[in-house]
Amino acid sequence: MKPIIEIKGLKASVEGMPILKGVDLTINSGEVHAIMGPNGSGKSTLASVLAGNEDYEIEDGTVDYLGHDLLEMDVDERAREGVFLAFQYPVELPGVSTMNFLKQAVNSVREHRGQEPLGAAALLRLAKDKAALIELDARLKQRSVNQGFSGGEKKRNEIFQLAMLEPTLAILDETDSGLDIDALRSVSHGVNQLRNPDRGFLIITHYQRLLNYIEPDFVHVMAGGRLVRSGGRDLAVELEEHGYDWIQTDH
């Protein structure tokens, strides 16, 4: 077990407004961490900052990712190094064919890892296997990326891409929001299949519902831009029972 990411004293702002006010978090290989917290606490900002969204200004702190300074890397470089963000709101790309997109993404990552790029047939086979894993309707691959997909289909497509790109650190930003129970179950099933000893997960969620399906090793509570409490799975249950108010009044 080795650390994948070590976040120390991370502060970030958007348009001059501080959002993250000193976040400390270490995720080791094989671990699943969940961050819960009320709306506006900074959970999604943390995900965006780690993925490399340039709308956020880093004010202070360090992020070490497998011995590299993550904050110095461009968004595409981070992805090639194995950081994956499953978006809360996946972007529709009209006209961009899903297979063409996957080919470029998969081969960019493979090339970076010193692997041979996949040809069309091999890619199609891989896509077929991975789509089955998360019960993604195969016909969606014929369409433009996310275009006209339902909320559930978009989220499944995110996990499908996760499966295709095989990242070292997977960040799931409110993947459960807008999912009905069947979609939630199949997305969770997909994520559980993708858990392995070399991979770390950071799961951001407002509700503990998702954590019934994907059992985290650690649960953190974020409030006011900081992780204010950390614990095991029982912390999530506690939050479900008492809401977030008792956490906030504590601090």
What does the binding site for other proteins look like in residue numbers (CB under 8 A)? 51-53, 74-76, 78-80, 84-85, 87, 90-91, 93-97, 100-101, 104-105, 108-109, 112, 144, 161, 165
CA dist., res. 153 & res. 134, Å (int) = 11
CA dist., res. 233 & res. 230, Å (int) = 10
3 state DSSP class of 168: coil
DSSP state of 174: S
Burial class (CB in 10 A: 0-12, 13-18, 19+), 234: exposed
Q: What is the CA radius of gyration of the chain?
A: 18
> φ, ψ for residue 80 (rounded to 5)?
-65, -30
Q: In terms of CB distance, is 44 or 161 closer to other proteins?
A: 161
CA dist., res. 62 & res. 85, Å (int) = 19
